[in-house]
Amino acid sequence: MSLLQTVVVYGIYSAALVAIGAVGFTLQFGITNVLNLSYGAVLTSAIFVHHWVAHASVAIGPAILVGAVWGAGFSWLIGRYVVAAYARRGTSQFGMAMVTIALGLVVQYTLEGIQGPTILSYTVAHARQFRLGAVVLSDLQLVIIGSAVVVMLAVHVLLRYTRIGLAMRATADDAALSQGCGVDAATVRTVAWLVSGALCGICGVFLGLSTGSFDASIGGGLFVTVVAAAVLGGIGKPYGAMVGALVVGLGGETAAALLSPAYKDVLAWCLLLVVLALRPQGIFAQYVDRRQLVR
Amino acid sequence: MGYRKTVCGVVAVLVSALAGCGSTNPTTLTIANFDPFSGPNANYGYTEQAGCVPAVNLVNAAGGVLGRKLTCAIVDDRGDPADAVPAAQKLLATTPGLVAVVDSNSGLLSATTPLFNAAHIPELSLGGDVPFDKNTYEYFWRTIPGDDVNGYAVAAYIKSKTSYRRVASMFSAEEAAQGNVPGFTDGSKHLGLTVSVHQDLAIDQPSYQTEIHKMVAETPQVMAMESDAQTAGVLYGQLKQSGSLLPTVLTAGADNADFDKAVVAAIGEDAYKAHFVKVLLYTQSSGPAWETFDKALMSAGGAVKDASEHEKDTYSEAAYDNVTMLALAMLAAKSTDPKVFNHSIDAITKGGTVVHTFAEGKAALDAGRSIAYQGVTGVVAFDKYHNNAGTWGVFEPLTQRLITTLSPADVQAAQNG
């Protein structure tokens, strides 16, 4: 029974971390149709920036602020000056994915240069702990779970109850038609890059704080899981990404409990293969369509 | 007729001249340093040479072996079987006075050892190939433990130096860390330890609480562990969080600054030093044997590349011991014939008089005593498979303070039951 509690609680914790990143990733793709494979590098850069700004302190509030601001700013720069420039030159979706891969590698290797020969670490701090039945959670882990809930609600409110959210949903469904109806594509695009980047940055600093030590490759592993969750839920569908993250998080912990911890990631990808075999569009998307870059 | 005689005479002269080209130089015995000197593992060869040259110089300075000088011949095997096999064949076919081979060819032994063995050439190896843990080649001798022996050494430490009997095996699911698992599991079984839980950890996960929960439920007293730094940081941070921090025995793969930093960040320096030890291959790098080696190394001149980098290099020290042992084996056998002195290689490690240098060994043998050579790397004790388990040290993290040592016999008990 206590093992079940552990699986559920830490599955939710893992899912929370993944969900924040996955919602940001899928939201931006849903609006701009750019498969931004530099997302993991932006996530990593947020950890480095926070570590530098906060002098390795683990205070959570400032970490969220730094992560969100850096991620939003960096992401906006990528959308505004890199993606837009290539889009104007008629780069295909595949070409754009390659551009973002290249950009991600530039960022990662730059961070490696900054990092130097050893890993970076946060300063040890005594974490407050909270017991939930048989499970002990730290204040950081509770904040991550809580933040994920807040982020999900905020994205829901943004998309469902605001004019810009309506414009974003319209653009995601049919970019050409929404522009014909007067939606300002540039504003929608900007907001998408900003929100996506902020979530990416928050996800990054949470990852850095939860691991305590990191190097320039830290974002790579989580990014793969983030993409898995986004695709599982239906790429471009924020609600789907939330469900996808839960499936991945709980699936990984279940694999660790019932099979072997070595199969944590394996099970997540097996779930992805099974779901896509049954629903090629993912859990939440209604259909598979041919998408064009939003220029 | 006269023409025939002339032709026959010329042919006879040529044949005898060619035969002379292939004859053994009566004054020099060759020990081949059969290693990569080019390619990505080129440092192996130079590391081995930094042991071979000082040893040969000392032997020659002490009058050589039975009146003959030794030399270290560089043979580049380029680190892969496709190049190593023809290089070995050429070495065997064309080297006058070849009496032995020294090498450090992990990954090549299966290809080249059968050739040396068939040619009755003793091979003193530092190669770590696991299949050679139980080889039966008569002329093969390995003085550095195989790559899997660290796991056995951890089990030996827990059994012989602690009161813990229920152990957790927590190694990350990477090739390097997993290399310890068979030895640790097998050794624990041989020594009567109970591996109460074994988990292969997926690396770089945000949570290991499920793994911790499963481990704690099996009530181990101590944990054997190796992983990358980030995995260790998360695992130990969460172990501390759940109040389940266990004494931990780490292997060589965890002996790096990143690992130390990650664990210190997760649990603090005091807890790290209090709960952890590292089991590592140990050479003293001090004392009379090392001082003799070091002096000879630093005076080797241009024959050794970057000599100062090898002063405390375990592999250079072991190569030095190997060549010294070969020379002492020849003296003990009173023969430079490889078929004869091969049988003395084991004998000179288990005699009555402990010697630390070639000069000491020669003096003892001249006095009619049997010797036990204990060189820079310490005691050498070959098992029935001609493997030496090595001397292992148990160290405190961060300070690298030596806590205790494990003898080859301790580790062999874990290996062979």
DSSP assignment of B285-327 equals --HHHHHHHHHHHHT-GGGSTTGGGGTT-HHHHHHHHHHHHHH
Torsional sign, CA A214, A217, A218, A219: positive
* pLDDT surpassing 90 at residue A276: no
Torsional sign, CA A64, A65, A67, A69: positive
d(CA B68, CA A112): 55
Query: Which span out of A247-256, B42-51, B112-121, B126-135 was modeled with the highest average pLDDT?
Result: B112-121
Helix/strand/coil for B283 = coil
* pLDDT computed for residue B3 by the predictor: 52
* pLDDT surpassing 50 at residue B65: yes
**What mean pLDDT is predicted for residues B112-121?**
97
Please tell me the least confidently modeled range out of A68-72, A109-113, A129-133, A252-256: A129-133
**What mean pLDDT is predicted for residues B249-262?**
91
Query: Which span out of A30-39, B156-165, B377-386 was modeled with the highest average pLDDT?
Result: B156-165
Q: How far is B184 from chain A (nearest CA, A)?
A: 18
pLDDT tens for each residue of A168-224: 888 887 778 888 888 888 899 999 999 999 999 999 999 999 999 999 989 988 999
pTM for this prediction: 0.79
Q: CB A134: neighbour CB atoms within 10 A?
A: 14
Split at pLDDT 50, 70, 90, the class of A28 is very high
pLDDT tens for each residue of B190-246: 999 999 999 999 998 889 999 999 999 999 999 999 999 999 999 999 999 888 899
* pLDDT surpassing 60 at residue B341: yes
Split at pLDDT 50, 70, 90, the class of A44 is very high
Residue-wise burial string across A254-276, b where 16 or more C-beta atoms lie within 10 A, e elsewhere: bbbbeebbbbbbbbbeebbeebe
* Contact criterion met (CB below 8 Å) for B280 and B259: no
The whole-chain average pLDDT of chain A stands at 89
Task: Find where tokens 């820079």 sit.
Answer: B376
* pLDDT surpassing 90 at residue B25: no
Q: How far is B171 from chain A (nearest CA, A)?
A: 10
The whole-chain average pLDDT of chain B stands at 90
CA torsion A107→A113→A118→A124, rounded to 10°?
-50
* pLDDT surpassing 70 at residue A124: no
pLDDT tens for each residue of A150-182: 999 999 999 889 999 999 888 887 778 888 888
**What mean pLDDT is predicted for residues B38-65?**
93
d(CA B148, CA B133): 9
d(CA B186, CA B201): 19
Record the tokens describing residue A199, joined without a space. 């979530």
d(CA B411, CA B157): 8
Task: Find where tokens 């040290």 sit.
Answer: B393
B69 - beta bridge partners?
B28
* pLDDT surpassing 80 at residue A286: no
Considering chain A, what percentage of its residues have pLDDT values greater than 90?
Answer: 55
From the list B238, B206, B211, B236, the residue with the least C-alpha distance to A12 is B206
Q: Do B209 and A215 touch (CB under 8 A)?
A: no
Q: How far is CA A7 from CA A4, A14, A258, B214, B228, in A?
A: 5, 10, 10, 11, 24
Q: Do A136 and B208 touch (CB under 8 A)?
A: no
Integer-rounded Cα Rg, in Å, for chain A is: 19
pLDDT tens for each residue of B263-288: 999 999 999 999 999 999 888 888 89
* pLDDT computed for residue A179 by the predictor: 82
A contacts of B257 (beta carbons < 8 Å): 118
* pLDDT computed for residue A288 by the predictor: 53
Helix (H) or strand (E) holding B142: strand B140-142
Q: Do A212 and B207 touch (CB under 8 A)?
A: no
From the list A74, A68, A16, the residue with the least C-alpha distance to A229 is A16
d(CA A197, CA A77): 10
The contact set of A with B (CB < 8 A) is 2-3, 6-7, 9-10, 13-14, 17, 118-119, 121-124, 127, 129, 135-136, 138, 207, 210-215, 218, 221-222, 252-253, 256-257, 260-265
* pLDDT surpassing 60 at residue A252: yes
Burial (Cβ within 10 Å: 0-12, 13-18, ≥19) of residue B307: buried
Helix/strand/coil for B226 = strand
**What mean pLDDT is predicted for residues B90-111?**
92
Mutate to test the interface with B, among A2, A5, A10 (most CBs of B within 10 A): A10
Mutate to test the interface with B, among A3, A123, A211, A222 (most CBs of B within 10 A): A211
**β pairing state of A120-121 and A213-214:** antiparallel
Q: How many CA atoms lie less than 13 Å away from A33 in the CB half-sphere? A: 20
**β pairing state of A129-132 and B222-226:** unpaired
Helix/strand/coil for B22 = helix
A8 vs B389 pLDDT, higher one: A8
Split at pLDDT 50, 70, 90, the class of B400 is confident
* pLDDT computed for residue B26 by the predictor: 52
**What mean pLDDT is predicted for residues B125-153?**
91
pLDDT tens for each residue of A48-87: 999 999 887 778 889 999 999 999 999 999 999 999 999 9
Size of interface A-B (CB pairs under 8 A): 108
Helix (H) or strand (E) holding B153: helix B149-161
Q: What is the amino acid identity at position B138?
A: E
**Phi/psi of residue A258, each to 5°?**
-95, -30
* pLDDT computed for residue B401 by the predictor: 92
Q: How far apart are the first and last CA of chain A?
A: 53
Split at pLDDT 50, 70, 90, the class of A285 is low
Q: How far is A127 from chain B (nearest CA, A)?
A: 8
B contacts of A3 (beta carbons < 8 Å): 210, 213-214, 217
**Phi/psi of residue B131, each to 5°?**
-60, -20
Q: How far is A6 from chain B (nearest CA, A)?
A: 6
* Helices of type H across chain A: 2-32, 39-53, 60-77, 84-88, 93-115, 139-161, 163-173, 175-180, 185-211, 218-233, 238-258, 264-278
Could you give the ipTM of this predicted complex?
0.86
